[in-house]
Amino acid sequence: MVDFNFSMTRLLTEICSKVEEFQHIRPEQVLVSATFARSRRKAGLLAYVLPLKYRAGSPIERRVRGGREYHWAMLPYLREGREVLYIIYFVLPRFLHLSEREKLETVVHELYHISPDFNGDLRRFRGARSVLHGTHKAFDAKVRQLTDAFLASAPPLNDYAFLSVSGRYADQLRATHIPEPRPKLLKVAACPPSPK
């Protein structure tokens, strides 16, 4: 049995050490989790990164709704005494149906979403149609370029057996799901009246 979470964490660490664009990422503060697709379809979401802070790394977010102001907090999420800033979820077995190259590009895609400040927030693109992807074409081109940079470093891909496991052999993997941490509601207050 291959431990998916452990093997993927090792791969993330290797990518971050070999690709200059990712050297700001501290892999010990990034967790890997499996999540399981409800259907057997191959199409759909492959992976996503869950940030454990709000915009610019703030632990608190204020939202206004229906004349009330809500203050939400992401409490520190600790593993082995260290705060985790991101959890990357891979959708199984859908992720396993990809080719080896597509799997690597999916991993790189999720790493590229991590803020360059590594503060628990996501990378944001100003003035773009999609604040998280900029233009999809440019985002995908960057992901291909970063994947090429990783492959050019001659990584020992044979050490990552799960890259060659297809969806039909998902039972060869031991994969663990980490429940998503949820924000805590700190305070609800009436919004101050707007100035006349």
Tell me which residue of 61, 70, 35 sits closest to 49, measured CA to CA: 35
Is residue 195 in a domain? no
Q: Each residue of 101-117: pLDDT tens digit?
A: 999 999 999 999 999 99
Tell me which residue of 67, 109, 119 sits closest to 88, measured CA to CA: 109
Q: Each residue of 8-24: pLDDT tens digit?
A: 999 999 999 999 999 99
Is residue 63 in a domain? yes
Is residue 196 in a domain? no
Q: Each residue of 55-101: pLDDT tens digit?
A: 999 999 988 888 888 999 999 999 999 999 999 999 998 998 899 99
Query: Based on the structure, what is the number of domains in the chain?
Result: 1
Residue 25 clears pLDDT 80, i.e. is over it:
yes
Which pLDDT score, from 0 to 100, does residue 1 have?
A: 78
Which pLDDT score, from 0 to 100, does residue 194 have?
A: 65
Is residue 124 in a domain? yes
Is residue 146 in a domain? yes
Check: CB of residue 11 under 8 Å from CB of residue 25.
Answer: no
Range of the domain at 100: 2-190
Is residue 16 in a domain? yes
Tell me which residue of 80, 136, 72 sits closest to 109, measured CA to CA: 136
Task: Compute the distance between CA of residue 15 and CA of residue 67 in angstroms, rounded to an integer.
Answer: 47
pLDDT class for 168, splitting at 50, 70, 90?
A: low
pTM of the model: 0.89
Is residue 56 in a domain? yes
Is residue 133 in a domain? yes
Q: Each residue of 123-135: pLDDT tens digit?
A: 988 765 667 776 7
